[in-house]
């Protein structure tokens, strides 16, 4: 009898346990042109040819044409169901507009300035809505600034010691890489974009020494990683660099940083890796 009671309890507990939420797919694009292969992969992952719709969030950009250029390659691929939805800082976010984001199969975040995007989104209902859509299985895609906002720790591209902006860092120094909160759709990684063409190695090396428990991912232009859970695949035209600090090494000489035992993998389209 006790065995039957135990089985009933286990069965009841299993039935009443909350079902695990689905998790969507991230398509993180390193900026530049978007080859048709990347567009087609986004369409495939979001199942847009089976119905549903996508929304373009252009808040990273100051250009009025950003939605047009984001939507155009999808239209050329036969998808007419993408619409721009611009939210402005400090303005109320209506339930109807939030529902449109929440129920989209694709949320596409344009390039521009990642701080501008998060300045509109951070701490608002829209931030939570994007996370809910992702948890329900939506594809979240973004290019350049739209790539940077994906992670929990977002690289802004700014230096803290030298406030003059340059596209790369001339030095590898401590406490120089500015990090701010991103959307948190992926954790434990630092994402950098336009990586090879703009020689951003020093920036990402600084990051993996300052944040040794994080994986540095440098994505070149016209290239993307497709992330499902903790697995990633490289697609596109160029390469992705993955930098790790497995021994959490860190040495300092004044402001200069040193580290032994870092690993760097240069990945090609079709390569897969675990985050």
Give the model's pLDDT for residue 62: 86
Per domain, the residue ranges of the chain are 23-274
7-16, 70-79, 264-273 — which is least confidently predicted? Answer: 7-16
Whether the pLDDT of residue 6 is over 50: the answer is: no
- Report the chain's mean pLDDT, rounded to a whole number: 92
Q: Does position 1 have pLDDT exceeding 80, yes or no?
A: no
Percentage of the chain with pLDDT > 90? 87
CA distance 25 to 208: 25
Question: How confident is the model at residue 4, as a pLDDT?
Answer: 44
Residue 159 β-bridge partners = 177
Q: What is the pLDDT of residue 8?
A: 38
Q: Is 35's pLDDT higher than 90?
A: yes
Task: Write the CA distances from 189 to 117, 132, 216, integer angstroms.
Answer: 19, 21, 6
Cα dist. 193→67, 81, 121, 161, 222 in Å? Answer: 20, 28, 21, 21, 10
Cβ(165)–Cβ(200) below 8 Å: no
Among the residue ranges 28-42, 105-119, 165-179, 193-207, the one predicted with the least confidence is 165-179
pLDDT at residue 162 in the model: 83
- Residue 165: the pLDDT is 80
Encode pLDDT of 150-205 as tens digits: 999 999 999 999 888 888 899 999 999 999 999 999 999 999 999 999 999 999 99
The pLDDT, as a whole number, for residue 22 is 57
**DSSP H helices in the chain:** 2-16, 36-46, 66-76, 95-102, 114-121, 125-135, 145-148, 201-210
Fold of 23-274: Rossmann fold (3.40.50)
CA 206 from centroid of its chain's CA atoms: 20
**Cα–Cα nearest to 143, from 252, 220, 243:** 220
Report phi then psi at 235, rounded to 5.
-135, 160
Residue 194: count of CB within 10 angstroms of its CB: 21
At 15-27, the pLDDT tens digits run 444 443 458 999 9
Share of the chain above pLDDT 70, in %: 92
The whole-number pLDDT of residue 196 equals 97
Q: Say whether 202 sits in a helix, a strand or coil.
A: helix
| Residue position matching structure tokens 């100051």 | 62
């Amino acid at each position: 009898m006790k065995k039957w009671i135990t089985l009933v309890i286990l069965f009841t507990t299993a039935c009443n346990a909350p079902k695990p939420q689905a998790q969507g797919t991230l398509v993180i694009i390193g900026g530049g042109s978007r080859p048709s292969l990347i567009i087609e992969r986004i369409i495939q992952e979001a199942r847009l040819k089976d119905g549903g719709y996508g929304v373009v969030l252009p808040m990273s950009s100051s250009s009025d044409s950003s939605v047009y250029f984001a939507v155009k390659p999808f239209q050329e691929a036969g998808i007419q169901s993408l619409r721009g939805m611009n939210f402005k800082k400090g303005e109320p976010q209506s339930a109807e507009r939030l529902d449109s984001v929440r129920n989209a199969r694709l949320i596409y975040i344009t390039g521009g300035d990642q701080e501008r995007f998060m300045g509109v989104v951070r701490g608002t209902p829209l931030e939570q809505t994007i996370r809910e859509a992702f948890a329900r299985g939506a594809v979240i895609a973004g290019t350049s600034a739209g790539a940077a906002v994906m992670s929990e720790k977002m690289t802004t591209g700014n230096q803290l010691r030298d406030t003059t902006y340059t596209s790369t860092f001339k030095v590898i120094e401590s406490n120089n890489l500015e990090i701010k909160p991103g959307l948190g759709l992926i954790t434990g990684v630092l994402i950098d974009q336009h990586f090879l063409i703009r020689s951003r190695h020093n920036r990402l090396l600084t990051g993996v020494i300052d944040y040794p428990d994080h994986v540095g991912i440098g994505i070149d232009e016209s290239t993307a990683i497709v992330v499902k859970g903790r697995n990633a695949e490289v697609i596109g035209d160029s390469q992705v660099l993955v930098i790790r600090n497995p021994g959490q090494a860190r040495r300092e000489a004044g402001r200069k940083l040193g580290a032994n035992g870092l690993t760097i993998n240069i990945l090609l389209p079709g390569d897969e890796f675990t985050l």
